[in-house]
Amino acid sequence: MRKIVVCGNWKMNKTVSESVQLAKEVVAAAQGVDKAVIAIAPTFLAAAKVADVLAGTNVKLAVQDIHFADQGAFTGKVSVDMAKDIGVEMVILGHSEQRQYFGETDELINKKVVKVLEAGLTPIVCIGETLEEREGGKLEDVLTTQLKGAYAGVSEADAAKTVVAYEPVWAIGTGVTATDEQAQDTQAYVRSVLKDLYSEALAESVSIQYGGSMKPGNAAGLLSQTDIDGGLIGGASLDAEMFLGVVKAAP
């Protein structure tokens, strides 16, 4: 049985005090909810304080990115050990905003995936196509290239410790969600690529999240699909009730 994993990506939202408050609200709303692995990813600035709120609860701490080096002259970056030290368990990697605005490549994402796995944390590997790519018939090529790139040199045993987030770029923050069928078909394809790269057993064991304007109103339909094992939630994760509404919509 694959785990349902729901992670809130707060992006560049909330001050430290607002983050602490929202984390408290998420913890309260998540009490006793065991349908999914629940995680939230605040900004780096707020992460340590949010960690204190999450300690001993069923909500895990995630971050939105990481650097692949151990330490040193990398202005503006945060290392895996620094994240691990405050209790981070999951790391979002290759988000389309990182790819689009900060030039993140599959090669760089791969270095980060390897580093996060080495540290024993869970990478959430984001992939997804633009509307132009989908309409241009390039959907499968784009996803295959992103997956091959992100998992280059990663052993099957390590790949089993990852989570994939399929996030169509055209659905992120737009209010436009992929239909249940579009998401299911694409995520089945993603699973078939994992099978080609590794094995059927591996492909069947990896949780594949959907991300892109997911909210309580559309979560039940998406989460009831065979190949959708949770969600990466942006906008709706900034409200504890909405975020938990998504989690509770899981079958």
Q: Which stretch binds ligand PEP (CB under 6 A): 22-30, 115-123, 217-225, 230-238?
A: 230-238
Instruction: Examine residue 167 and tell whether it contacts ligand PEP (CB under 6 A).
Output: yes
Using the contact rule CB under 6 A, the part of the chain among 35-43, 179-187, 188-196, 229-237 near ligand PEP is 229-237
The distance of closest approach from Cβ of residue 231 to ligand PEP in the complex, given in angstroms and rounded to an integer, is 8
Looking at the annotation, which residues are catalytic? Answer: 95, 167
Q: Please tell me the number of Cα atoms within 13 Å of 144 on its side-chain side.
A: 10
Residue 249 is a binding residue for ligand PEP (CB under 6 A) = no
What's the Cα-to-Cα distance from 119 to each of 38, 68, 105, 138, 152, rounded to whole Å?
20, 11, 21, 34, 17
Closest CA to 4 of 34, 40, 41: 34
Q: Is 211 in the site for ligand PEP (CB under 6 A)?
A: yes
86-100: b (≥16 Cβ within 10 Å) or e? eebbbbbbbbbbbbe
Q: Which residue is nearest to ligand PEP (CB)?
A: 234
Instruction: Determine the size of the site formed for ligand PEP (CB under 6 A).
Output: 13
Choose one: 60-68, 76-84, 130-138, 233-241; the region binding ligand PEP (CB under 6 A). 233-241
* Residue in the structure block whose two tokens are 């791969």: 110
Q: What is the SS3 string spanning 101-137?
A: HHCCCHHHHHHHHHHHHHCCCEEEEEECCCHHHHHCC
Q: Is the Cβ of residue 55 or residue 131 nearer to ligand PEP in the bound state?
A: 131
Distance CA 17, CA 179 (A): 36
Q: What is the DSSP string of 217-233?
A: HHHHHHHTSTT--EEEE
* Residue 146 in contact with ligand PEP, rule: CB under 6 A: no
Q: How far is the CB of 71 from ligand PEP (least distance, A)?
A: 28
Site membership for ligand PEP, residue 90 (CB under 6 A): no
Give yes or no for residue 233 binding ligand PEP (CB under 6 A). yes
Tokens (6 digits) for 119 = 């540290």
> By the criterion CB under 6 A, which residues form the site for ligand PEP?
9, 167, 172-173, 211-214, 232-236
